[in-house]
Amino acid sequence: MVSSSNRPGRRPGPSATREAILAAARAAFTAHGYDGATIRAVAAAAGVDPALVLHYFGSKRGLFAEAAALPFDPATAIPAIIAGDPATAAERLLRFFLAAWDSGQSRDGLLALLRAAVNDEQAAAMFRARFAGELLGRVAAQLPGPGVEVRVGLVGSTLAGLVFARYIVRLEPLASLPAEGVVAMVAPTIQRYLTGPLELPGAPGEGGSHAPGD
């Protein structure tokens, strides 16, 4: 490769090393998950010594916490989506969501977060707080009526399923479809979950009480 100066000590010129490490970490976490990504591999990809990674981020968890930050600000993005004709809010939401995932840079961070959520119970809680709380919670705040939580839960479930099929398992032909094609087919589903008629639970009739947990 390049002439990797093995010499110790500070390198001349301004240093973009911290950012390089973060980029390498995002890629590594995305490609191999939290456990699979090693500090040594991240350091090698960034062209630095493993100890320098720890020097900057303290620990592997600290590195992950910075690498997996949300690439946009929910506080401003969500209201912008909700504002406007409620009948087409689903299209805007889906379009925004797919754009975030189709952009390579933000996809890496998101995928790392998702992978960690699937693996680690602790990360799942973090995911719940961040994704559910900051994103879906804001959507729920703009919706009227009872059963709002179920509605946004279904929306989140739909989005998660899309991510899984399209970006993780890469199920064809869904994975290669242009975003607009997905919007055309899935937006009606989300729109129904948001504002359409829904047989909400707790309605009279069936009284089956049953918990899926152990």
157 CB neighbour count, 10 Å cutoff: 11
Q: Is 54 in the site for DNA (CB under 7 A)?
A: yes
Binding window for DNA (CB under 7 A); candidates: 31-39, 74-82, 93-101, 177-185: 31-39
Q: Of its own copies, DNA, none, which one does residue 73 interact with (CB within 5 to 8 Å by kind)?
A: none
Q: Smallest distance, Å, CB 184 to its own copies?
A: 4
| Residue of 112, 96, 198, 113 whose CA lies nearest to 154 | 198
Nearer Cβ to DNA, position 55 or 170?
Answer: 55
Q: Which does 104 bind (CB under 5 to 8 A by kind): its own copies, DNA, none?
A: its own copies
Torsion of CA 139, 141, 145, 146, to 10 degrees: 90
Q: How far apart are CA 105 and CA 125, in angstroms?
A: 24
Q: What does the alpha-carbon distance between residue 118 and residue 64 come to, in Å, rounded to a whole number? A: 15
Q: For DNA, which stretch binds (CB under 7 A), given 7-15, 72-80, 184-192, 206-214? A: 7-15
Q: How far apart are the first and last CA of the chain?
A: 53
Tell me which stretch binds DNA (CB under 7 A): 6-14, 78-86, 159-167, 173-181.
Answer: 6-14
Question: Quick check: 17 binds DNA (CB under 7 A)?
Answer: yes
Residue 60 binding DNA, by CB under 7 A: yes
> Residue 138, interface with DNA (CB under 7 A)?
no
Contact flag: residue 33 with DNA (CB under 7 A): no
- Give the residue among 31, 185, 181 at the shortest CA–CA distance from 111: 31
Does 24 contact DNA by CB under 7 A?
no
Q: Would you say 24 or 163 has its CB closer to DNA?
A: 24
Q: Give me the least distance between CB of 27 and DNA, in Å please.
A: 15
Q: Give just the sign of the alpha carbon dihedral 199, 204, 205, 211.
A: positive
Are the CB atoms for 153 and 136 separated by under 8 Å? Answer: yes
Shortest distance, position 121 Cβ to its own copies, whole Å: 8
CA 117 vs CA 33, 129, 185, 199, 204: distances in Å: 10, 11, 27, 30, 36
Calpha distance 171→184 (Å, rounded): 18
- Min dist CB 6 to its own copies, Å, is 31
Please give the residues from 84 up to 103 whose contact with DNA meets the rule CB under 7 A. none
Any contact of residue 122 with DNA (CB under 7 A)? no
